[in-house]
């Protein structure tokens, strides 16, 4: 039974304000995932000791790592990654559009890796949307369009996941669920999936969306002390099969 996790790691700074890359690795190792989508990683940034957080977590989990810097400040990078121990290949990385009226907003991006799961190619797209509703809506439409979900290479089993900074009542959610099914809706049992803020999660802003070829077996947000402490988000976990 394959398992995928999406996790905003908050540059590996926990709710206790302590920087601890190994703690994030420990959270993920305990979950025993096959594929991991991470957001808010620092790579070579002075504020977090110059560590390549993406590849360090990959090393801890013994997984291959693809990192996409949504933001570059000289030699310092900040962005998202997909990790897996399964056969994989990078398909595409790219920026998401901003909001022209607020050019100072933090750049956002997406990362697409094809992973072989149960002998079948599965398209995994990881993203992290902005904070401003109009910006989010523009980015969600971009993801739903020909650059990503409507791309000619985006065929068959697909999982879109990440931190969307938007709840299930948002335009963003409706835009994406017009193309893919929310995994939570398909799960046989309904368990808590709120992920933010991690000490007492009340918001569902991290999501997993799937194509019809993905059979969802379970979706949950683990709530043990380590999970509540390691980041400001809880991880969101999905067990699935490829139909």
pLDDT digits (tens, 9 = 90+) for 162-175: 999 999 999 999 99
Query: Closest Cα to residue 114, out of 184, 60, 35, 230?
Result: 35
Query: Please, are residues 139 and 110 in contact by the beta-carbon 8 Å criterion?
Result: no
In the predicted model, what is the mean pLDDT of residues 143-163?
97
> What is the pTM for the complete model shown?
0.96
Residue 101: pLDDT over 80: no
* CATH superfamily assigned to domain 3-242: Endonuclease/exonuclease/phosphatase (3.60.10.10)
Query: Closest Cα to residue 142, out of 101, 103, 187, 94?
Result: 94
Adjacency order of strands within the sheet including 35-43:
64-73, 76-84, 35-43, 3-8, 236-242, 214-220
pLDDT digits (tens, 9 = 90+) for 196-216: 999 999 999 999 999 999 999
| DSSP H stretches of helix in the chain | 21-31, 53-61, 133-144, 171-177, 183-186, 225-230
* Burial of 224: CB neighbours in 10 Å, binned 0-12, 13-18, 19+: exposed
């Amino acid at each position: 039974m394959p398992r995928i996790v999406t996790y905003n790691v908050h540059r590996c700074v926990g709710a206790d304000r302590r920087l601890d890359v190994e703690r994030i690795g420990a959270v993920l190792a305990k979950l025993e995932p096959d594929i991991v989508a991470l957001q808010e990683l620092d790579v070579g940034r002075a504020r977090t000791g110059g560590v390549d957080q993406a590849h360090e977590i990959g090393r801890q989990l013994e997984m291959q790592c693809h990192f996409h810097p949504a933001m570059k400040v000289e030699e310092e990078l900040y962005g998202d990654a997909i990790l897996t121990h399964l056969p994989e290949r990078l398909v595409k990385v790219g920026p998401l559009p901003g909001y022209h009226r607020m050019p100072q907003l933090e750049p956002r991006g997406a990362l697409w890796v094809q992973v072989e799961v149960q002998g079948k190619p599965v398209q995994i797209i990881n993203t992290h949307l902005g904070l401003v509703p109009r910006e989010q809506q523009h980015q969600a439409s971009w993801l739903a369009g020909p650059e990503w979900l409507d791309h000619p290479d985006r065929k068959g089993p697909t999982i879109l996941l990440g931190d969307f900074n938007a709840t299930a009542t948002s335009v963003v959610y409706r835009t994406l669920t017009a193309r893919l099914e929310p995994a939570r809706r398909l799960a046989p049992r309904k368990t808590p999936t709120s992920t933010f803020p991690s000490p007492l999660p009340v918001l569902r802003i991290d999501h997993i969306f799937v194509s019809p070829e993905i059979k969802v077996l379970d979706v949950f947000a683990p709530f043990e002390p380590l999970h509540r402490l390691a980041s400001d988000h809880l991880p969101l976990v999905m067990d699935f099969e490829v139909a």
